[in-house]
Amino acid sequence: MGLLTILKKMKQKEKEVRILMLGLDNAGKTTILKKFNGEDIDTISPTLGFNIKTLEHRGFKLNIWDVGGQKSLRSYWRNYFESTDALIWVVDSADRMRLGDCKKELHTLLVEERLAGATLLVFANKQDLPGSLSAPEIREALDLNSIKTHHWLIQDCSAVTGENLLNGMDWVVNDIASRIFTMD
Protein backbone atom coordinates (compact mmCIF):
# COMPACT_ATOMS: atom_id res chain seq x y z
CA MET A 1 0.00 0.00 0.00
CA GLY A 2 1.36 3.39 -0.97
CA LEU A 3 1.86 6.43 1.18
CA LEU A 4 -1.21 8.31 -0.05
CA THR A 5 -3.50 5.35 0.46
CA ILE A 6 -2.21 4.87 3.97
CA LEU A 7 -2.77 8.52 4.77
CA LYS A 8 -6.25 8.43 3.34
CA LYS A 9 -7.20 5.41 5.39
CA MET A 10 -5.81 6.95 8.54
CA LYS A 11 -7.30 10.35 8.16
CA GLN A 12 -10.68 9.10 7.08
CA LYS A 13 -12.74 11.56 8.96
CA GLU A 14 -14.71 10.19 11.75
CA LYS A 15 -18.29 9.48 10.86
CA GLU A 16 -17.43 9.25 7.19
CA VAL A 17 -18.48 6.04 5.48
CA ARG A 18 -18.17 4.61 2.02
CA ILE A 19 -21.17 2.87 0.55
CA LEU A 20 -21.07 0.87 -2.66
CA MET A 21 -24.36 0.44 -4.49
CA LEU A 22 -24.55 -2.45 -6.93
CA GLY A 23 -27.17 -4.61 -8.62
CA LEU A 24 -28.29 -5.70 -12.08
CA ASP A 25 -28.97 -3.06 -14.70
CA ASN A 26 -32.34 -1.33 -14.44
CA ALA A 27 -32.62 -2.17 -10.72
CA GLY A 28 -32.91 1.53 -9.84
CA LYS A 29 -29.53 2.30 -8.28
CA THR A 30 -29.12 5.73 -9.81
CA THR A 31 -32.76 6.57 -9.12
CA ILE A 32 -32.25 5.72 -5.45
CA LEU A 33 -29.12 7.85 -5.35
CA LYS A 34 -30.85 10.84 -6.93
CA LYS A 35 -33.96 10.45 -4.83
CA PHE A 36 -31.79 10.52 -1.71
CA ASN A 37 -30.24 13.68 -2.94
CA GLY A 38 -33.57 15.31 -3.74
CA GLU A 39 -32.85 15.46 -7.46
CA ASP A 40 -35.15 15.06 -10.43
CA ILE A 41 -35.56 11.37 -11.33
CA ASP A 42 -37.49 11.70 -14.59
CA THR A 43 -34.55 11.77 -16.96
CA ILE A 44 -32.25 9.02 -15.78
CA SER A 45 -30.58 6.95 -18.47
CA PRO A 46 -28.68 3.68 -18.01
CA THR A 47 -25.40 4.23 -16.17
CA LEU A 48 -22.40 3.28 -18.30
CA GLY A 49 -19.78 4.33 -15.76
CA PHE A 50 -20.30 5.36 -12.16
CA ASN A 51 -21.77 8.13 -10.05
CA ILE A 52 -20.64 9.44 -6.70
CA LYS A 53 -22.63 11.47 -4.25
CA THR A 54 -21.82 12.64 -0.79
CA LEU A 55 -24.79 12.96 1.50
CA GLU A 56 -25.16 14.03 5.08
CA HIS A 57 -27.39 11.77 7.07
CA ARG A 58 -27.84 11.96 10.82
CA GLY A 59 -24.44 13.51 11.31
CA PHE A 60 -22.73 10.98 9.08
CA LYS A 61 -21.05 11.79 5.82
CA LEU A 62 -22.04 9.11 3.34
CA ASN A 63 -19.95 8.70 0.20
CA ILE A 64 -22.16 6.65 -2.07
CA TRP A 65 -20.71 5.03 -5.18
CA ASP A 66 -23.24 3.84 -7.76
CA VAL A 67 -21.71 1.68 -10.49
CA GLY A 68 -23.44 0.65 -13.73
CA GLY A 69 -24.99 -2.84 -13.66
CA GLN A 70 -25.09 -3.98 -17.28
CA LYS A 71 -23.56 -7.38 -17.80
CA SER A 72 -20.59 -6.02 -19.73
CA LEU A 73 -19.84 -3.55 -16.91
CA ARG A 74 -19.88 -5.96 -13.98
CA SER A 75 -16.21 -6.82 -14.35
CA TYR A 76 -15.48 -3.21 -13.36
CA TRP A 77 -17.22 -3.56 -10.00
CA ARG A 78 -14.07 -4.97 -8.43
CA ASN A 79 -12.31 -1.63 -8.91
CA TYR A 80 -14.64 -0.09 -6.34
CA PHE A 81 -14.52 -2.67 -3.52
CA GLU A 82 -11.65 -1.11 -1.57
CA SER A 83 -12.55 0.41 1.81
CA THR A 84 -16.27 -0.26 1.42
CA ASP A 85 -18.19 -0.03 4.70
CA ALA A 86 -21.54 -1.08 3.29
CA LEU A 87 -22.83 -2.77 0.17
CA ILE A 88 -26.31 -1.85 -0.97
CA TRP A 89 -27.65 -4.48 -3.34
CA VAL A 90 -30.57 -3.14 -5.34
CA VAL A 91 -33.15 -5.55 -6.76
CA ASP A 92 -35.90 -4.91 -9.30
CA SER A 93 -38.62 -6.80 -7.44
CA ALA A 94 -40.76 -6.96 -10.57
CA ASP A 95 -38.07 -8.58 -12.71
CA ARG A 96 -38.88 -12.21 -11.90
CA MET A 97 -37.05 -13.49 -14.97
CA ARG A 98 -33.66 -12.37 -13.74
CA LEU A 99 -33.85 -13.26 -10.05
CA GLY A 100 -31.55 -16.24 -10.65
CA ASP A 101 -28.97 -14.00 -12.23
CA CYS A 102 -29.46 -11.51 -9.41
CA LYS A 103 -28.85 -14.17 -6.76
CA LYS A 104 -25.74 -15.46 -8.50
CA GLU A 105 -24.16 -12.01 -8.81
CA LEU A 106 -24.88 -11.16 -5.17
CA HIS A 107 -23.38 -14.36 -3.81
CA THR A 108 -20.30 -13.85 -5.99
CA LEU A 109 -19.77 -10.51 -4.29
CA LEU A 110 -20.15 -11.94 -0.81
CA VAL A 111 -17.05 -14.10 -1.13
CA GLU A 112 -14.93 -11.11 -2.12
CA GLU A 113 -12.24 -10.57 0.46
CA ARG A 114 -12.31 -6.79 0.10
CA LEU A 115 -16.02 -6.74 0.93
CA ALA A 116 -15.64 -9.10 3.86
CA GLY A 117 -16.30 -6.56 6.58
CA ALA A 118 -19.11 -4.73 4.80
CA THR A 119 -22.67 -4.39 6.01
CA LEU A 120 -25.19 -5.64 3.44
CA LEU A 121 -28.50 -3.94 2.75
CA VAL A 122 -30.76 -5.43 0.09
CA PHE A 123 -33.26 -2.99 -1.33
CA ALA A 124 -36.31 -4.83 -2.73
CA ASN A 125 -37.02 -1.93 -5.03
CA LYS A 126 -39.97 -1.08 -7.29
CA GLN A 127 -42.64 -2.01 -4.77
CA ASP A 128 -44.82 0.55 -6.55
CA LEU A 129 -45.02 -1.70 -9.62
CA PRO A 130 -47.93 -4.15 -9.88
CA GLY A 131 -46.71 -7.74 -9.71
CA SER A 132 -43.58 -6.93 -7.73
CA LEU A 133 -42.48 -9.57 -5.25
CA SER A 134 -42.53 -8.77 -1.54
CA ALA A 135 -39.39 -8.51 0.58
CA PRO A 136 -39.87 -12.03 2.07
CA GLU A 137 -40.25 -13.43 -1.45
CA ILE A 138 -37.08 -11.70 -2.59
CA ARG A 139 -35.28 -12.94 0.54
CA GLU A 140 -36.28 -16.47 -0.43
CA ALA A 141 -35.35 -16.03 -4.09
CA LEU A 142 -31.91 -14.65 -3.27
CA ASP A 143 -31.35 -17.19 -0.49
CA LEU A 144 -30.43 -14.45 1.95
CA ASN A 145 -30.90 -16.73 4.96
CA SER A 146 -27.79 -18.61 3.94
CA ILE A 147 -25.64 -15.52 4.45
CA LYS A 148 -23.56 -15.91 7.61
CA THR A 149 -20.60 -13.79 6.63
CA HIS A 150 -22.21 -10.33 6.66
CA HIS A 151 -24.69 -8.38 8.73
CA TRP A 152 -27.62 -8.07 6.36
CA LEU A 153 -31.13 -6.69 6.10
CA ILE A 154 -33.70 -6.70 3.34
CA GLN A 155 -35.84 -3.61 3.01
CA ASP A 156 -38.77 -3.24 0.60
CA CYS A 157 -38.81 0.18 -1.01
CA SER A 158 -39.74 2.33 -3.96
CA ALA A 159 -37.15 4.67 -5.40
CA VAL A 160 -39.87 6.48 -7.34
CA THR A 161 -42.01 7.32 -4.32
CA GLY A 162 -39.08 7.35 -1.92
CA GLU A 163 -40.87 4.95 0.40
CA ASN A 164 -38.61 3.24 2.96
CA LEU A 165 -35.37 4.50 1.45
CA LEU A 166 -34.51 6.32 4.65
CA ASN A 167 -35.38 3.31 6.78
CA GLY A 168 -32.84 1.29 4.88
CA MET A 169 -30.19 3.97 5.14
CA ASP A 170 -30.81 4.36 8.87
CA TRP A 171 -30.16 0.69 9.38
CA VAL A 172 -26.96 0.87 7.32
CA VAL A 173 -25.66 3.82 9.31
CA ASN A 174 -26.53 2.18 12.63
CA ASP A 175 -24.90 -1.07 11.66
CA ILE A 176 -21.69 0.58 10.47
CA ALA A 177 -21.60 2.83 13.52
CA SER A 178 -21.91 -0.09 15.91
CA ARG A 179 -19.07 -1.88 14.14
CA ILE A 180 -16.61 0.93 13.55
CA PHE A 181 -17.06 3.96 15.69
CA THR A 182 -17.25 2.20 19.02
CA MET A 183 -13.83 0.67 18.55
CA ASP A 184 -11.85 3.84 19.26
Partner 1 sequence: METNNSNNMHSNGHGSNEGEIEEMDFSHSDFIEEDLATGLSSKDVKFDTIIGHIEDIVMEEPFQTIQNGFLEKYYKEFEDTEENKFCYTDIHKEYISLIESYLETELKKRLPEFCMLEFSQQLQSRKKELEGEIFEILLTFSDFMAFKEMLLDYKAEKEGNAIDLSGGLTVTPVQDKLNLDGASPFCITGKSLQGP
51, burial (CB in 10 Å: exposed 0-12, middle 13-18, buried 19+): middle
Q: What's the CA gap between 50 and 38, in Å, rounded? A: 19
- Stretch of 46-54, 100-108, 110-118, 126-134 lying at the interface with partner 1 (CB under 8 A): 46-54
The answer to the question of whether 29 is labelled as a binding residue is yes
Site membership for partner 1, residue 50 (CB under 8 A): yes
CB 64 within 8 A of CB 36: yes
26 marked ligand binding residue: yes
Rounded to whole angstroms, the Cα distance separating 184 from 142 reads 35
Question: Which one of 41, 73, 147, 153 is in contact with partner 1 (CB under 8 A)?
Answer: 73
Question: Does residue 183 bind partner 1 (CB under 8 A)?
Answer: no
Q: Where are the alpha helices (DSSP H) in the chain?
A: 3-11, 29-36, 99-110, 135-141, 165-180
Per CB under 8 A, the segment of 72-80, 115-123, 128-136, 163-171 that binds partner 1 is 72-80
Q: Which is nearer to partner 1, 1 or 183 (CB)?
A: 1
Q: What share of the chain is helix, strand, coil (3-state, %, to 5)?
A: 40, 25, 40
Choose the binding region for partner 1 from 1-9, 105-113, 139-147, 168-176 (rule: CB under 8 A): 1-9
Binding site, annotated residues for Mg(2+): 30, 47
Residues forming the site for partner 1 (CB under 8 A): 1-8, 10-11, 47-52, 54, 73, 76, 79-80
